[in-house]
Amino acid sequence: MSMNLGPLFQPFELHNLKLRNRVAMAPMTRNFSPGNVPNEDVVSYYRRRAENGVGLLITEGTTVNHAGANGYPNVPAFHGDAALSGWKDVVDAVHEAGGAIFPQLWHVGAVRQEGVEPVPSVPGFSPSGLFAPGKPNGKAMTKDDIDDVITAFADAAQDAKALGFDGVEIHGAHGYLLDQFLWEGTNQRDDEYGGSMENRLRFVVEIVEAVRHRVGPEYPIMLRFSQWKQQDYEARLVNSPEELDAFLQPLVEAGVDIFHASTRRFWEPEFEGSDLNLAGWTQKLTG
């Protein structure tokens, strides 16, 4: 493995995004937002990272405005006056310290269990009422449910831009809602959102398109995706560069500017016959 770290410290520009370096902090759930509102502790946490030179901060997962979006206690929301005001304080602090910041927009899907805040009676939502293959949880989403979630992501992205965030990341990885649509093991639908890879991609593509419509052509959209799931570390969405290309290109066409390829062991090749990992293949195929 090359030890030349020079490129990490070069500036990066994309559309209106200007980063002082290429060091990015990945999203990490903290559970430090009582009442789902980011407070001064959260502001201080992100400010410190920016003060110490991180170029791009991606926030912990922050939930969109849908009843089933949250699955954990004390996770920050990205809707409502109090939460958005808290996030505005975060943005201002990071910018004052010279950093850039994206919120990670999140819906946990069937990971949610009844009894979790903010409304304990709300079940988990998913493509087919499955937490994992053969493991039911929650309810299968109707077309109206799907439309509601698409709108929630678009609303959140519009709010992020209004608050001064430098772009948005859509969480499509790790076995949460968007990934549950992508993963054949949890998507057993027989409508236009299930079956082929093209159909399983449709929900995510429609979210990206809706976000792009709200934020305009120059606002950066990042999508985090993964092969592995918290439900199954060995799960795979694609098994070859050709399948990966068929997965990625519709997302590029929908409006994704940056892919955040999450791997458990980044030093391992993704496909036989090449040393490239998932991020390397993604860059090679999409630029």
Nearest to 205 by CA among 249, 175, 157: 249
Q: Express each pLDDT in 261-272 by its tens digit.
A: 999 999 999 999
Question: Average of pLDDT values for 99-128?
Answer: 97
Task: To the nearest 10°, report the CA torsion of 67, 74, 39, 69.
Answer: -20
Told to judge if 193 belongs to the known catalytic residues of this protein, a careful annotator would answer: no
Separation of alpha carbons 262 and 271, rounded Å:
15
Q: Cα separation of 145 and 125, whole Å?
A: 8
Q: What pLDDT shows up at residue 2?
A: 62
Structure tokens at 196: 């082929």
Say what the pLDDT of residue 243 is: 98
Q: Does the pLDDT of residue 108 top 60, yes or no?
A: yes
Assess whether pLDDT exceeds 60 at residue 1: no
Q: How far apart are CA 156 and CA 161, in angstroms?
A: 9
pLDDT of 274 strictly over 70 = yes
Calculate what percentage of the chain has a pLDDT beyond 70.
99
Residue among 45, 46, 176, 219 flagged as catalytic: 176
Using CA of residue 42, residue 45, residue 47, residue 50, what is the dihedral sign?
negative
Strands 17-19 and 12-14: antiparallel
Helix (H, G, I), strand (E, B) or coil at 128: coil
Spatial contact of 11 and 19, defined as CB atoms under 8 Å apart: yes
pTM of the model: 0.97
CATH class of 27-286: alpha beta
Mean pLDDT, rounded, for 143-160 = 98
DSSP letters for 191-211: STTSSSHHHHHHHHHHHHHHH
The answer on pLDDT for 137 being more than 80 is yes
Q: How far is CA 64 from CA 14, 92, 112, 271, 281, in A?
A: 25, 21, 14, 34, 30
**Lowest-pLDDT range of 3-12, 57-66, 238-247:** 3-12
Give the Cβ contact number of residue 253 at 10 Å: 11
pLDDT, tens only, 227-268: 999 999 999 999 999 999 999 999 999 999 999 999 999 999
The pLDDT score that the predictor gives to residue 3 is 78
Comparing CA positions, the residue from 1, 23, 25, 27 lying closest to residue 10 is 23
- What residue segments make up the domains of the chain, in order of their start? 27-286
CA atoms within 13 A on the CB side of 13: 2
- DSSP H helices, the chain, are 40-51, 81-96, 143-163, 177-182, 197-215, 241-254, 278-286
b/e burial code for range 15-50 (CB count within 10 A of at least 16 → b): eebebbbebbbebeebeebeebbbbeebbebbbebb
Rounded to an integer, the average pLDDT of 9-34 is 97
